[in-house]
Structure 1
Amino acid sequence: MFQAKPQSNAIAASLIIVAAAFIAGTTLMAKALGTQTLGAPLPALQISHGRFLFAFIALTTVAAFLRPTLSRPHWRLHLARTSFGWAGVTLMFASVAYIPLADATAISFLNPVFGMMLAIPLLGEAVGRVRWSAAVLALIGALILLRPTPDSFQPAALLALGAAMVMGLELIFIKKLAGRENPFQILLVNNMIGLGIATCAVLPVWQMPTPAQWGVLAGIGTCMAVAQACFVNAMARADASFVAPFSYATLIFAALYDSIFYGTRPDGITYLGAAIILTGALWLALREARLKKQPVPVRTSV
């Protein structure tokens, strides 16, 4: 048993915004490593390996000081969740080397939509017309961001779309893990398994990073560990329906970082597609919140 955190919407919102800033920072650093900014580009598999390596080091260091109480993990759920999480992160890191951070980040917000769709066959959940409408709206936004014309189509955007689909699968297993284990244990086991998977995957393509690239790899892992810790603590202090909309601040930070460091300015298509995706995702989140708050009827009155 672990003690519940004191409820505070203000603290939860602040933590999520901090997490959003760090998550956007990891994609910015992944872009630097995947391009020629810091030397010969590193493969996406190597960038995701660094993310899990240094996140695991950060978490085990914290665990050595805090000595949290750990229980027996549900290994099969952790393995499935982490496998999809690793694949999603790798695809996301691959995409940001070729397309603007704002586009990749906006497309990644489709993961709850895919999670909803996949929950139908995998969790047996019922999905009504309103939830389907929100999902279709978000998918239209993604289609706009893909720029499906011969002159402007971005093939690399399909990598971000794939990342969103795989992360939607990860959400299914996160739901199954929720409430079973201590949140810190979930993070620790997730990064431990992720490091094992990433190490096996990176061996065929691994290349020696420069000192600057080592530093950025360490930065990605550390930032992700901080972001995960902020997210878990935010979820413990407020309802998920309240917390979720604040995570969309990641898009603002991604566009800001891309503008400052790469001079990339979002165009009208980016604004339109991102707005449609965020509208659909927010509509879905609000709908989920209303469904959870509805009391279970004792009898049918009409």
Structure 2
Amino acid sequence: MTSTVSQASKANGYLFTLLAIVIFSIQDGISKHLGAIYPPVFVAMIRYWAFALFAIALAARSKEGLKITATTRRPWLQLVRGVLLPTQIVMVITSFTWVGLAHSQAILAATPLFVALLSMPLLGERVGWRRWLAISVGLGGVLLILKPADGLFDRTFLLPLGAALLFALYVIVTRLVSRQDSAMTSFFYTGVVGAAAISMVGPFFWVTLAPVDWGWMLLLCITGSSSHYFLIRAYEVLDAVAVQPLTYLQLVFASIMGVTLFNETLTVNMMGGSVLVVAAGIFTVWRERVVARRRAGLPSA
């Protein structure tokens, strides 16, 4: 009976993951559309207002309640997280417009590799030769993606690269606060602090939305909240090593949307580099799990 329930839970976890990825992809397409017309800071601010309301509602309905969920032992780190993510989102939306949806996602796929690199100086983690090899291969893939066919480096590529590094830093800080704060507390501060932080800047970029774009903005707010909700549900029953490989489907969906909806072109370098980055990222996440379980005295499988 327990095994059946466990298998059913895992099946639900994979379903939640796929739902989150599909919704994230739709969200990216809408972000590119709106970011090409309106200031990305403004777009991100409206999205964050809805996200903050969702985070508060979710915290209020949790078992601990709003008061306990809002209690943190690492307030400064939660503030840092709250500022990092909206900054990264603005960079990503801008990148979708300047660099392209598919190309941006190909570079953002390197985030797990940057997390592994930053975990050494910031978390004191040790990285063995296998992960070093995977990181090296993955970074080689990034260089391949960044190398255009004509040999001239496009400086706009620094935007998604910077966004990937910033999100990796956000993940590292999240790992630090997770040692003392619950996942729900971190989610609460992600929404509330992020909304407060971007609201200090966003009003300076306020513009009037066209009536039809209010519909797109509403859909962006809905996708922004629901995608995170399904991802949270997925992580309740699945390990990161099970979720991470599926998240790379977002790159596939981004490539399809980029080509069919936004007339983007997929280069040989981008596709080849993406394969290396994804393979290295999956191996890195899997190897981290193996090492963590070994240290805990658990079997690797």
Q: Same fold judged by TM-score > 0.5?
A: yes
How far does the alpha carbon of each residue in 1:256-286 deviate from its partner, in whole angstroms, 9 at most, with x for none?
Answer: 2223322334232221111111011011012
Q: Is the 8 A contact 1:100 1:258 kept in 2?
A: yes
- Structure 1: gaps (5+ residues): 36-40, 298-302
Aligned length: 288
CA distance in 1, matches of 2:154, 2:192: 34
| 1:94-125 CA-partner distances (Å, limit 9, x unpaired) | 10002231211121122221122111121111
User: TM-score when scaled to structure 2?
Assistant: 0.87
Contact 1:142 1:273 in 2 (8 A): yes
> Secondary structure at 1:42's aligned position in 2?
coil
**Matched residues in 1 for 2:165 and 2:245: separation?**
20
Question: Which residue matches 1:131?
Answer: 131
Which amino acid in the other structure matches residue 21 of structure 1? V
1:51, 1:129 → 2: CA distance? 41
Corresponding residue for 1:33? 34
> Counterpart of 2:159?
159
Could you tell me how far 1:295 is from its partner in structure 2? 4.9
Task: Flag the structure with higher helix content.
Answer: 2
Q: What does residue 287 of structure 2 align with? A: 287
C-alpha contact (below 8 Å) 1:46/1:205 kept by paired residues = yes
CA deviation profile, 1:146-198 (whole Å, cap 9, x unmatched): 12565553332211100000001001111123264443443232111111111
Query: Matched residue of 1:204: which SS?
Result: helix
Whole-angstrom CA distance in 2 between matches of 1:151 and 1:296: 48
Residues 234 and 117 (structure 1), Cα distance of their counterparts in 2 relative to 1, 3 Å cut: same
TM-score (norm 1): 0.86
Corresponding residue for residue 249 of structure 1: 249
Does the residue aligned with 1:264 lie in a helix, a strand or coil?
coil
Q: What is the alpha-carbon distance in structure 2 between the residues aligned to residue 203 and residue 271 of structure 1?
A: 39
Tell me if structure 1 keeps the 8 A contact 2:149–2:269: no
Where do 1:71-220 residues align within 5 Å?
71=68, 72-73=71-72, 74-148=74-148, 153-178=153-178, 180-220=180-220
Distance in 2, matches of 1:258 and 1:86, equals 23
For residues 265 and 27 of structure 1, the distance between their equivalents in structure 2, rounded to whole angstroms, comes to 17
1:269 corresponds in structure 2 to 269
Report the residue type matching 1:32 in the other structure: H
Give, as a single letter, the amino acid of the residue that structure 2 aligns with 1:31: K
**Counterpart AA for 1:57:** L
Q: Take 1:68 and 1:152, find their aligned partners in 2: how far apart are those partners?
A: 55
Conserved? CA contact 1:110–1:164, under 8 Å: yes
Aligned-residue offset at 1:207: 1.9
Give % identity: 22
Kindly provide the amino acid, as one letter, of the partner of residue 293 in structure 2.
K
Change (3 A) 1:236 1:179: farther
Name the amino acid aligned to 2:54: A
